[in-house]
Structure 1
Amino acid sequence: MAIEQNIPPENQNTPTPSSSGGGSDGNPNNPNDKSRRRRNKPRRDGKGSNNKGNSPATLSTGKSEKRRTGKDNQALVTQDMNADINYHDTMDNAADAAAAHAEGGIKSIGTQRIIPFMKIEKPMALLSIFLVIGSIIAIAVNGLNFGLDFTGGVSADVRYAQPAEQVEVVKALADKGFNDAVVQYLGTRQELLIRLPPQSDSVDGLNASLGQALDLPNNKAEISNVNIIGSQVGNEVYLNSVMALGLALLSMLGYVALRFQFKLALGAVVSLFHDAIVTIGVFALFGFPFDLTVLAAILALIGYSLNDTIVVYDRIRENFRRVRGISPTQIIDLSLTETLRRTIMTISTVLLVVLAMMLLGGDGLYWFSVALFIGLLAGTYSSTYIASSIPLAMGLSRDDFVVKVKPEFEEEIVTFNDPKMFEQD
């Protein structure tokens, strides 16, 4: 009797709300139970989420919200925070894109921030034209204060019994009427090179007069050699110097044209000419003495400026081949930004050496250091703007750096026609 009470009647097929199976006993695996409960469609929250409708907890009970654990709540909060962060990132990217579009350039490529150098290209071009024209006018009006290497004069090798100061020797010569003397050390402070403007005396008379003028208190001078440099030799040196500058510029033009591209070569040569003419113009404007040491500084400056320009050109060529979807102006800005750190470190170290020579090198290296200092500033500026803006104005593009296939290496398309294809049955 107790067993019969535990067996449910056959006509009780209505599932209870708490049942999760197909029959009254809630067991979906019972083959004798043929009743099925209609499954409700899963609910969606509008964002594609189907967690509530498909979770086993929801199917088994209607109180899934009460049974949600603290981890689920934390997951939802984290998801909301990530969505908020993604929204703000999207808004920031949109703002950066809008600002970049307003400036006519790009703010960044990947993680690389871009400095819009070419944004002030036109003002810098006007400044360069003003500097070049001003230098040419200064050279034409004032002329250069040529040293003894170009005008001729007298040079003498002197040896003192004790170390002598250059200032004392120059003062002693000025007291005896030998003005505008140039004194340089030859290895030690006891051996000096004296250079004077052209003198009317003969070699024998110069030996006697210079011997009296060069004697210092308690320090006797001995003249070992006296040379008189004529004006004809100075003119030859002047012509050879001009030819050396011209040959250097033409050599640079040919090298860059073969190594990179003619548009870049023209920009590099104009940049080098700008550096040389601005340095010479400053010497003409202020009347600084211009001798062979200054000419050597200008030639060294041409080599240094070209080296800095070649580094920029190499990065421009690489970015034209590597980066797609941006304008040539943006390619130039990207290349200059990537080489900016190298340029700053290089110019800083070189300027330290130049300043050390200027302040501690004495009279023999002073004007050489001044010429280098002026040229380094002009060269850094020209490598950034003149050498890069001129090729851009000439229409520099990616096609200038893409290797094109020659016609003799192009593949020929050959079509074989089968005669049987045209035969009719």
Structure 2
Amino acid sequence: MAIENNNPLEQQNNPDRNGSNGDATTASTRRRKKPRRDGKGSNTKTNNPTTTKSGKSSGRRGGKGQAGTDNQALSTAVDPNLAASDAADDAAAMAEGGIKAVGNQRIIPFMKIEKPMALLSLFMVIGSIIAIAVNGLNLGLDFTGGVSADVRYEQPVEQVAVVQALADNGFDDAVVQYLGTREELLVRLPPQSDNVDGLNTDLTQALALPNNTATISNVNIIGSQVGNEVYLNSVMALVLALVCMLGYVALRFQFKLSLGAVLSLFHDAVVTIGVFALFGFPFDLTVLAAVLALIGYSLNDTIVVYDRIRENFRRVRGITPEQTIDLSLTETLRRTIMTISTVLLVVLAMLFLGGEGLYWFSVALFIGLLAGTYSSTYIASSIPLRMGLSRDDFIVKVKPEFEEEIVTFNDPKMFEQDNV
């Protein structure tokens, strides 16, 4: 069916052009002057791409449109090819386990493989706990005690040369770190004899390099009791950090989300420590600092996801909680990829260019970053979902005593005034 008039709204509001329903002034008053609910004018023009908005413009331009006609007809039929394409897109999206979002952006069905990922996480946590219990941690000198010495050279020196010189003189498993400059170093050794004077003399001879004299300014002997106290304080710091994170997320968001966040942080810490126990990597205070830093990073990544989940539960209607979480993870995926990429660049730079002092710190960060990104997607989001997370958890409900009473006042004279 074709309509010869160029304004479909005028034809709908003026069904009789001969004035049977009133004069032109009354018809123009009835005409809708505001856009319809889609915000683009007539629904016919919006839903039908073949309507003559182009026909009107072609008429104003002097007939440069189709076939050069003066008055282009408006087609009200829906394009069957467009409808078939939309139906095919919807069917393909549902077959993939996702739905369509704003702008035809498909949602990645993260929760579709939730159960296999949960089994993988459980396997990694149990394996890490077994590795820690069976192999134990290769604790560094900070935990086991030993000898610490401040050394100053006349000329810059390499860490590898110092370690090799100590090993040649019978001081094995030495740890050498720079103290601000390449002339000042901190040397840490396993427990030695309690004779400080003899130890000072032996170290001075062992640290001497060709054409580069070493001077030892301070020698400290750290007992095993101090190392055990440091170890217990480290464990307490880790537990206290997790408890504080639980309280923060519970107050900031919701208890179901806080439980998922803490379990994901526990997963990251246990997996990182388990890898060190499995392969026998040295575990010292720098590695512990990396684990604590990972807890903060992983929580930050989880908070971003939780904030989007809360927003979508309040904003989006008509979809399941699982689809809401998929939508939130899809919307934050680009931010997650950019964040993990930039942080990994810094970690890899420290790993290969930071020297011996930052090597194991960088290794712990690298392992924890991978575990933290994975846990923010599957552990921190899937656990609240299995606990029954829904839209009701984010809606503020008004208590009955604060509800206002609605009073309706019907005055017959008011309706008479309106009719007049």
Q: TM-score range by the shorter chain?
A: 0.7 to 0.9
Match among 144, 153, 156 for residue 163 of structure 1: 156
CA displacement, residues 363-399 of structure 1 (integer Å, 9 cap, x when unaligned): 1111000000000000000001110000001110000
Distance 2:189 2:180 in 1: 20
The 8 Å contact of residues 149 and 220 in structure 2, kept in 1 or not, is answered as yes
The 8 Å contact of residues 147 and 189 in structure 2, kept in 1 or not, is answered as yes
- Give how far 1:102 is off: 3.4
Match among 333, 350, 356 for residue 349 of structure 2: 356
Distance 2:270 2:337 in 1: 23
How many pairs were matched up? Answer: 344
Q: For residue 319 of structure 1, what is the aligned residue in structure 2? A: 312
Q: For residue 127 of structure 1, what is the aligned residue in structure 2? A: 120
Distance 2:302 2:98 in 1: 23
Distance 1:131 1:307 in 2: 23
- Whether 1:204 and 2:197 are equivalent positions in the alignment is yes
Q: For residue 343 of structure 1, what is the aligned residue in structure 2? A: 336
Match among 324, 327, 340 for residue 331 of structure 1: 324
Match among 228, 240, 256 for residue 249 of structure 2: 256
Match among 129, 133, 138 for residue 145 of structure 1: 138
Which ranges in structure 2 are unaligned for 5 or more consecutive residues? 1-65, 410-420
CA displacement, residues 77-122 of structure 1 (integer Å, 9 cap, x when unaligned): x95xx968x3122112212222333344313344432111111111
Matches within 5 A, 1:200-279: 200-279=193-272
Task: Provide the secondary structure at the position in 2 that maps to 1:411.
Answer: coil
Task: Provide the secondary structure at the position in 2 that maps to 1:107.
Answer: coil
- Give how far 1:75 is off: 4.8
Distance 2:321 2:82 in 1: 28
Task: Provide the secondary structure at the position in 2 that maps to 1:113.
Answer: coil
CA displacement, residues 15-38 of structure 1 (integer Å, 9 cap, x when unaligned): xxxxxxxxxxxxxxxxxxxxxxxx
- Give how far 1:123 is off: 1.0
Distance 1:213 1:372 in 2: 34
Task: Name the aligned partner's letter for residue 288 of structure 2.
Answer: L
Task: Name the aligned partner's letter for residue 137 of structure 2.
Answer: L
Task: Provide the secondary structure at the position in 1 that maps to 2:210.
Answer: coil
CA displacement, residues 175-207 of structure 1 (integer Å, 9 cap, x when unaligned): 111000000000000000000000024111110
Task: Name the aligned partner's letter for residue 304 of structure 2.
Answer: V
Distance 1:352 1:104 in 2: 34
Which ranges in structure 1 are unaligned for 5 or more consecutive residues? 1-68, 417-425
Distance 2:67 2:206 in 1: 102
* Distance change >3 Å, CA 72–CA 288, structure 1 → 2: same
The 8 Å contact of residues 135 and 278 in structure 2, kept in 1 or not, is answered as yes
Over the aligned positions, Cα root-mean-square deviation in angstroms equals 2.0
CA displacement, residues 237-265 of structure 1 (integer Å, 9 cap, x when unaligned): 00000000000000000000000000000
The 8 Å contact of residues 148 and 189 in structure 2, kept in 1 or not, is answered as yes
Q: For residue 280 of structure 2, what is the aligned residue in structure 1? A: 287
Task: Provide the secondary structure at the position in 2 that maps to 1:189.
Answer: strand
Task: Name the aligned partner's letter for residue 213 of structure 2.
Answer: K
TM-score (ref. length: structure 1): 0.78
Identity across matched positions, percent = 83
Distance 2:72 2:118 in 1: 59
The 8 Å contact of residues 291 and 365 in structure 2, kept in 1 or not, is answered as yes
Task: Name the aligned partner's letter for residue 219 of structure 1.
Answer: N
- Whether 1:184 and 2:177 are equivalent positions in the alignment is yes
Distance 1:410 1:148 in 2: 65
Distance 1:375 1:415 in 2: 62
Q: For residue 386 of structure 1, what is the aligned residue in structure 2? A: 379
Distance 1:90 1:176 in 2: 83
Q: For residue 57 of structure 2, what is the aligned residue in structure 1? A: none
The 8 Å contact of residues 139 and 283 in structure 2, kept in 1 or not, is answered as yes
| Higher Rg of the two aligned structures | 1
Matches within 5 A, 1:85-100: 86-100=79-93
